[in-house]
Structure 1
Amino acid sequence: MRSDWYKNAVIYQIDTPFFLDGNGDGCGDLQGIRRRLDYIRGLGATGVWLTPFYLTPFLDGGYDVQDHLQIDPRFGDIADMVLLLEEAEELGIHVIIELVLQHTSDQHVWFQSARQDKHSPYRDYYIWADEPPEEDDDPMFPGVEESVWSWDEAAQQYYRHMFYRHEPDLNLQCPQVIKEIERIIVFWLRLGVSGFRLDAASHMVKQAGGGDADKGYWLLNHLRDFVMLRRPETILLGEVDVAVDEYADYFGDNDRLHMLLSFNINKHFFLALARQDATPLADALRELPAPPLRACFANWLRNHDELDLDGLSDEEKEEVMAAFAPDEEMRVYQRGIRRRLAPMLQGDTAWIAMAHAVLFSLPGTPVMRYGDEIGMGDDLRLPERQAVRTPMQWSGTHAAGFSTADVDRLLVSPIDSGPFRYQKINVGAGQLQANSLLRRVSDMARTRLGLKEIGSGNYQVLDTGNPAVLGLFYQVDGESLLMLVNFCRQSVTANLHAFRDVELTECLADRAYSATDCTRHPRDIELAGYGYRWFGVVKTRDLSDDA
C-alpha cells in the first residue's frame, strides 16, 4: 500500500548555505546538515526541505541554477549527498529538494549556447522576442526589475525573465526542455530523495500553457505520472500563490500536486496576529477547499522569502505592515515584509510559541523554518530577502557555532548585536532552559506527530464564543481532537456548548490549568494570554450538527 507519509509529517526547512559549515570554509554545506540530523529528528521533524545546493553563481541564494545535476563545490559533492540521504533514512527523515524549473541562471550552458547562436539546439529552451509584448506580467521584484523582458546583445533579441534578469525563463512548451526535466528528476530519484518542492509552480503552469494557466496544467499531470511510475512514495510540493478557488486546479483529481503551500492561510494568519483576533484565519480556513484524498496543504509561519501580503485588501495589508513592519526598511517589493517571526512578535516567547501552536493545529502539514524554533532574528542591513537568511545560531561561541572559519570569511556574519544576538539566542541556551521556546516548539512537534487526525484533513472551525480564540475540531476513524489557541495577550474563556456531553483529555497546553473545566460536561475552557490547549475527545453524541 502506498504511504501518505507527508500527511502526518513535520517538515524542517533548511537554507543550505546558512545551517552549518561542516568543513570550515565559511559556507554551510551538506556535510553540516548531516551532522545535525539527530538534532532535527530530536526536534520532532520527520522531513527536511533543502534550499538549492546545485552549481550556481549564487546571485539569488542558489535559485539561479547553473547545472541541476551538479552540486556546487561550496556545498559538497555527490558523495556528501548520498551520505546525507542514507543517514536521514536511518533516522526516519524524508529529504525534499528544490526543483527549480521556471528559470535557470544566465550562466547555464543552455542559455550561453542559446544566446550565441540562433540555430543552437538550446535556442528554443528559452523565451525570445524581437520586441516585448505590449502587455505582460509585472516583474516579481518591483523596484528591482522594471520589466520581465531584457535585451541580450549577443542574441540580438529580448529574453523573458519573470524574476531577476540573470534568471531567464525556461520555455516549458518545448519538448526538449521536458526531456531535460525528466533527466533531472530521474537522477535525484535514483539517489533517494523523497520529494521535490516545485519553485514558482504557478508560473511554471502559466509558461507551460504559453501564458494561459488553464492550458498548462498538463505539466503537473506529466510530472506526477513521471514520478509515480518510478517512486510512488515521492511527493510534489508546489509553491502556489493563487486565489483560493484555483487551488483545486493544482491538486487535480489526485493526479497533480501532492501538497500545496497555502499562501492564503499564511496571509490571513498574520492579519489575525496583527489584530489579536482569530477571525481572519478562521474565515480563511472555512473557505479552504477540501483537498483530494491523497493530497494536503502545507502551512508555515515564515520562510526564506518575504512575507507576501498580496491578496489582502489595501487596508488589511497596511494593518499588517503597521503592526509588524512599521519602518520602511522592513518592507520589500511594495507588497511584503522582510523580517523573521521573532522580531515581528517582539521577541515575546509566549506570543511566538502561540504562533507555533497555531501552525501545528492547522489542517495539513506544518513546515518549520530553521532558527524559528529558538527565536532567531533578522539582519535588515542585508538587501531584499537576504535579511532573513543568516547563519543558524547553535551556540554563544565563535561565529554562533556555525563555522570554525574567521568571521570575515563567512558568506554572512551571524547576528551579533541587539536582543537577537547569537550570544543570547542559540540552540545551546534553549536546550538548557526548561520552558524555552525551543523546548515548547519541540514538545508541539513531537505531540503533533501522534495526532493523525490532523493529517486526515477532516476538520471543523468552531464557534468558540470569543473572537480571540481559534477552535478546530478533527474527526477521523472514530478518533476526535479539539485544539484551542488564544490570539490575544489577555486571559479568555472559550464557550464550547457543543461539547457539553463529551469527555476531554488534555494532551498539550502552554501551562498547567485547573482540571475543573475538563470534567464530564465542560462548557467553558480557560486560556491564558497567548495560551493553547489540545484535547483528545471522547464523544458521547454526534457533534457535527452544532460544532
Structure 2
Amino acid sequence: MAKQWWKDSVVYQIYPRSFMDSNGDGIGDLKGIISKLDYLQTLGVDVVWLCPVYESPNDDNGYDISNYQSIMKDFGTLADWEELLKGLHDRGMKLIMDLVVNHSSDEHAWFVESRKSKDNEYRDYYIWRPGQDGHAPNDWGSFFSGSAWQYDEQTEEYFLHLFSKKQPDLNWENPKLRQEVYDMMKWWLDKGIDGFRMDVINLISKVPELPSVVEGNHDSYHFGGDYFMNGPRVHEYLQEMNREVLSKYDIMTVGEAIGVTPEEAALYVGEERNELNMVFHFELMDVDSGEHGKWDVKPWKLSDIKRIIKKWQLELQDKGWNSLYLNNHDQPRMLSRFGNDTVYHKESAKMLATLLHTLQGTPYIYQGEEIGMTNVKFASIEEYKDIETLNMYQEQLAAGKDVDSIMNSIYVKGRDNGRTPMQWSSDRHAGFTKGMPWISVNPNYEQINVEQALQDPESIFHYYKKLIELRKVHNVTGYSNYRALMEDNDRIFAYIRSNNEEQLLVILNFTGEPASFVLDEDIRYQRNTLLISNYDAAESEDIRHIELRPYEARVYKLLKKQ
C-alpha cells in the first residue's frame, strides 16, 4: 500500500469543552488548548482532531452548528483559533476539524429561512414532508429517543431529525446545498487545516421514498437504518466531494460510519475509490450491547473482540486503511470498559494501548486516555449533561424501568464518562478551571492526573510516548500483514504483524488472572528482541512458552530465519 503521512500518524482527539479552561468560566476553550500544546508535543502525537468549536446553541455540545464559519463565544474567537493552528504547525503537528454536515442546528440561517414557507428558496435545504392522517410521515426513530420527525406549525409539515429535534437533517439531494457545504470546506482548508473528521457521514443519503420500517405503522418508532445508513447516493456524494474539494489538498479524512461492515468500508476507503482515507466503524463499540441496543448492557467476550479485529484487519488488508480506537467523546472510557480501572489500573491501560498501537491503521488517542482516566459514577441524573443520556433516562423511566437499573446502564455506557474535565493536577477541579466546571470532575483526579504522570517514569503516559516512538521506527506496525495466534484462547489476544523486512509478535493477557502463552510451532526466527512490555521481563526468556501476569503486554521483534 502507498505510504501517506496520515498512515504514519498518531491522532489525539480534543473535546474542547472539557480540555482546559483559560478564563475561569468553567468551560474549556481555545486558549486553554494553546496553553497545553507543549504537553501534546511531549507525548509525541502528530495530529490533533478538534471536536466542533463552531457557533452553536449547544443542544448536543456543539454538534448542532448554527454557523459553520464562526467560532462559539464559549471557546474564544477566530483569532484564537488561528493562533492554535499556528501553534500546532510550529510544533510539527497538524489539525483536523470536525465536519458536521448530515444536519445543522435549527438556529442556522438556512433552517430559519427554510421553515418560513413551503416556497422559500431554502425550503429544500432540509427534508420536509406532510404528515399522514395526523401522524409523522413514517415510523423512523431518532438516535436520541422518540420520533425522527418534528411537526412545525408554521407550514404544517414535519422535518426529519435523526438526532435531536434541534438538529434537522440537511437534504443532500439538493445540489445547491452540496455546493454550500463544499464552499465551506474549502474556506477552512484554505485557512490551512489538514483535514476533516466527518460526523455520521454515511447517513447523508436517504432512500427518497422515506418508507416506514413497518408498513402502515404510525404508533411506534423503529430504527430505519436500512433507509438512511449507506444510502443509495452516498458514494456519489462523497466522490463528488472528493472531486470538488478533497483531491485538491494534501489532507486526511476520516468518516464516522455507523453500522458499516468491512465490505462497505472498503467502498468508502478503497485506494482507487476517491472517497475517504478511513472510517470509524462501530462493530467493536457494540461488543457489549444486547439485542435492545446500546443501553442493554451485556458482558463482552474476548473471543468477540478478537474476531472483530481480525475481520477488519484482514478484510481491509491491501484495500484500505483502518482507524484504531477504543474510546472517544461518544463512548465510555476504554480502561473502565475493557480493562481494570482499580487493581490493575496501570497494567491494563498499557495493555489496551499496546493493542491499539500495534495493529494496521491509524491510532486515535482520546484526551485523558494517556493518563488512564476512568468512567465516573455521578450520584444522580441531575449531574449528567448529555442529551442522549437524559432522553433515554426519561423514556425508560416512563416505560416503568427502575432507577438503579437505568443508572447502571449510564455508568457503563453514558457519553458523559468521556466528557468529564481533563485531569491536569491534584489542584481543585483537577487544574482544569479556576471556576465551577460545566460538568463535575471525576473524584479520582487526585490519584490520576497529568502532573503525577509526567513525574513517574513508569506511568501510562510514558508508556504511550514509547509506543508512539516505536511506530515511527518500525514500519511493520502500519504496513504489514496480520496473523492471529491462539484464536480459541479466552484470556490471551496474540498476533503476528509481518512484512518482507520484519515480524512483530504481540502478546496480550486480557484478564486479571495469570495465563499461559504458547507460540505456534511453525513460526521460525533467528532471535527475538523485546521492544516494549508493561512488566519487567527478561530478554533471555524463551518466548515459545510464557507465563503471563495479569494484563501483561509484550511486543517482540522477531528476526526471520534466512
* TM-score of the superposed pair, with normalisation by structure 1: 0.84
Q: Give the corresponding residue for 1:376.
A: 373
How many pairs are equivalent?
494
Partner SS for 2:478 = helix
Going from structure 1 to structure 2, the CA distance change for 1:454 and 1:207 (only over 3 Å counts) comes to farther
Deviation at residue 196 of structure 1 after TM alignment:
0.5
* Contact 2:267–2:273, Cα closer than 8 Å, also in 1: no
* Contact 1:499–1:523, Cα closer than 8 Å, also in 2: no
How far, CA to CA, are the matches of 2:454 and 2:193 in structure 1? Answer: 30
Alignment of 1:309-388 (within 5 A): 339-344=332-337, 345-347=340-342, 348-377=345-374, 378=376, 380=378, 381-383=383-385, 384=389, 385-388=415-418
* Contact 2:202–2:234, Cα closer than 8 Å, also in 1: no
Tell me which moved more, 219-228 or 289-298.
289-298
Alignment of 1:106-505 (within 5 A): 106-131=106-131, 135-142=138-145, 146-206=146-206, 211=227, 213-231=231-249, 233-244=250-261, 245-252=263-270, 253-268=272-287, 278-288=302-312, 289-291=314-316, 295-306=320-331, 339-344=332-337, 345-347=340-342, 348-377=345-374, 378=376, 380=378, 381-383=383-385, 384=389, 385-404=415-434, 406-407=435-436, 410-415=437-442, 417=443, 420=444, 422-463=445-486, 466-496=489-519, 497-505=521-529
Q: Give the corresponding residue for 2:51.
A: 51
Deviation at residue 90 of structure 1 after TM alignment:
2.1
Q: Give the corresponding residue for 2:218.
A: none
Partner SS for 2:62 = coil
Partner amino acid, structure 2, of 1:402 = F
Deviation at residue 48 of structure 1 after TM alignment:
1.1
Deviation at residue 379 of structure 1 after TM alignment:
5.0
Partner SS for 2:341 = coil
Deviation at residue 275 of structure 1 after TM alignment:
7.0
How far, CA to CA, are the matches of 2:244 and 2:176 in structure 1? Answer: 16
Deviation at residue 101 of structure 1 after TM alignment:
0.2
Partner amino acid, structure 2, of 1:300 = Y
Deviation at residue 292 of structure 1 after TM alignment:
7.1
Partner amino acid, structure 1, of 2:316 = P
Partner amino acid, structure 2, of 1:390 = T
Going from structure 1 to structure 2, the CA distance change for 1:341 and 1:466 (only over 3 Å counts) comes to closer
Going from structure 1 to structure 2, the CA distance change for 1:206 and 1:296 (only over 3 Å counts) comes to farther
Partner SS for 1:393 = coil
How far, CA to CA, are the matches of 2:108 and 2:278 in structure 1? Answer: 29
Q: Give the corresponding residue for 1:333.
A: none
Deviation at residue 474 of structure 1 after TM alignment:
1.7
Q: Give the corresponding residue for 2:69.
A: 69
How far, CA to CA, are the matches of 1:442 and 1:156 in structure 2? Answer: 57
Q: Give the corresponding residue for 1:531.
A: 552
Deviation at residue 243 of structure 1 after TM alignment:
4.1
Deviation at residue 387 of structure 1 after TM alignment:
4.1
Q: Give the corresponding residue for 1:510.
A: 534
Q: Give the corresponding residue for 1:318.
A: none
* Contact 2:268–2:278, Cα closer than 8 Å, also in 1: no
Deviation at residue 103 of structure 1 after TM alignment:
0.4
Q: Give the corresponding residue for 1:336.
A: none
How far, CA to CA, are the matches of 1:134 and 1:412 in structure 2? Answer: 37
* Contact 1:48–1:94, Cα closer than 8 Å, also in 2: yes
Q: Give the corresponding residue for 2:90.
A: 90
Going from structure 1 to structure 2, the CA distance change for 1:134 and 1:80 (only over 3 Å counts) comes to closer
How far, CA to CA, are the matches of 1:65 and 1:20 in structure 2? Answer: 22
* Contact 1:55–1:71, Cα closer than 8 Å, also in 2: yes
Partner SS for 2:541 = helix
Deviation at residue 439 of structure 1 after TM alignment:
2.6
How far, CA to CA, are the matches of 2:198 and 2:209 in structure 1? Answer: 17
Partner amino acid, structure 2, of 1:237 = V
How far, CA to CA, are the matches of 1:209 and 1:393 in structure 2? Answer: 49
* Contact 1:10–1:449, Cα closer than 8 Å, also in 2: no
Going from structure 1 to structure 2, the CA distance change for 1:116 and 1:214 (only over 3 Å counts) comes to closer
Going from structure 1 to structure 2, the CA distance change for 1:197 and 1:277 (only over 3 Å counts) comes to same
**5+ long unaligned stretches in structure 2:** 211-226, 291-297, 390-414
Partner amino acid, structure 1, of 2:427 = T
How far, CA to CA, are the matches of 2:289 and 2:105 in structure 1? Answer: 33
How far, CA to CA, are the matches of 1:465 and 1:127 in structure 2? Answer: 49
Partner SS for 1:525 = strand
**5+ long unaligned stretches in structure 1:** 307-338, 542-547
* Contact 1:277–1:469, Cα closer than 8 Å, also in 2: no
Partner amino acid, structure 1, of 2:274 = D
Deviation at residue 42 of structure 1 after TM alignment:
1.4
Q: Give the corresponding residue for 2:42.
A: 42
Deviation at residue 264 of structure 1 after TM alignment:
1.6
Deviation at residue 150 of structure 1 after TM alignment:
0.7
Deviation at residue 175 of structure 1 after TM alignment:
0.6
Deviation at residue 174 of structure 1 after TM alignment:
0.5
Q: Give the corresponding residue for 2:213.
A: none
